[in-house]
Amino acid sequence: MKLGVCQMTVSEKTRVNLNKILNFLDEAVEHDIDLLVFPEMVLTGYTPDVVLSSKINDMIDECLWMIKEKIKRLQIAAIIGHPYKEEGKLFNRASVILPDGQVYTYDKNNLVDIEKKYFQPGEKTLTFEYKGEVFGVIICRDQNYPKLSQEVVKSGAKFLFILSAHFYNPKEARWKLEKNRAIPITRAVENGIYVLMANTVGTHLGTISLGNSLIVDPDGAVVVSAGESEEGILSLSLFDVE
C-alpha cells in the first residue's frame, strides 16, 4: 500500500477547491497511491459567508457525494477537511472516505481561539482500518496535545494523519514554521509511529501558509517534505516500511 499527503492552496470558492481535490485524486492514482490525505478545511477554507451559511450542510453533502463517486470509480481512499453542522453545532471535521462507501468522521478536539467563536470542539478520537493497517486522524492544533495522539496509538494506530491549515500573518508564519515541523516529529518519536501531515500552502483571507507538509518515520527522520510555496503530493510506500 502507498500513502499520500496532498499540499494544496485553498480558495475562497468551494467549487475551485472541489475541482482541485478531484484532480489531485486523479494524480494520486497515477502514482499508485491508495490513500490520500488533504489539509484541514480544504473544501471551503475559512470564508465566513461560506462556513457560517445556513445551507452549509447541503453544499458539503453535494461536494462529498461527488468526491465519493470519484473515489468509488478510482478505488482510492481519501481524508477531506471541511466544516459540518450536527444538531445546530458547527464542527471542524475530517471525513475518511473509503472506496467501498464507508465513511468515518473526526471532529477537531482542540480549537484555536478564533475557531472557538464559531466551532464546537469534538470529544472523540478516531482510528480506522484500511487494507490491513490501522490509522489515526487528528486536526492541526490537536498535535500540540500528546495525550490525544497516545489515545489513538493505544487504539492500534501505526500511522497518524494530521490535517493542518497553518495560516498566519507573514511574520508569524515564518517564526512558527520550525515549531510546526518539530511537533509532528515529536509525536512520531514518542509514539513509535509514522506521522503524515498535510498542510495548506499559499495565501487565504489575508494570511499565509508556508506549506512544509511532511512524512516522518518512527525514529523522527523526515522521509519527505514539501516546500513553502508549491502544491503537490508526497508519498510513503508501506513496502519500504516493511
Cα-Cα-Cα-Cα dihedral sign, residues 191, 164, 111, 79: negative
Distance between CA 1 and CA 54 in Å, rounded?
Answer: 40
Distance between CA 68 and CA 75 in Å, rounded?
Answer: 10
pLDDT in tens, the chain (242 residues): 999 999 999 999 999 999 999 999 999 999 999 999 999 999 999 999 999 999 999 999 999 999 999 999 999 999 999 999 999 999 999 999 999 999 999 999 999 999 999 999 999 999 999 999 999 999 999 999 999 999 999 999 999 999 999 999 999 999 999 999 999 999 999 999 999 999 999 999 999 999 999 999 999 999 999 999 999 999 999 976 65
Model pTM greater than 0.75? yes
> Helices marked H in the chain — which ranges?
14-30, 48-51, 56-74, 146-154, 170-175, 177-191, 238-241
Q: What is the model's pLDDT at position 29?
A: 98
Q: What is the model's pLDDT at position 239?
A: 76
Domain 2-241 homologous superfamily, CATH:
Carbon-nitrogen hydrolase (3.60.110.10)
Q: Which residues of 72-88 are buried (b: 16+ CB within 10 A; e: fewer)?
A: eeeebbbbbbbbbeeee
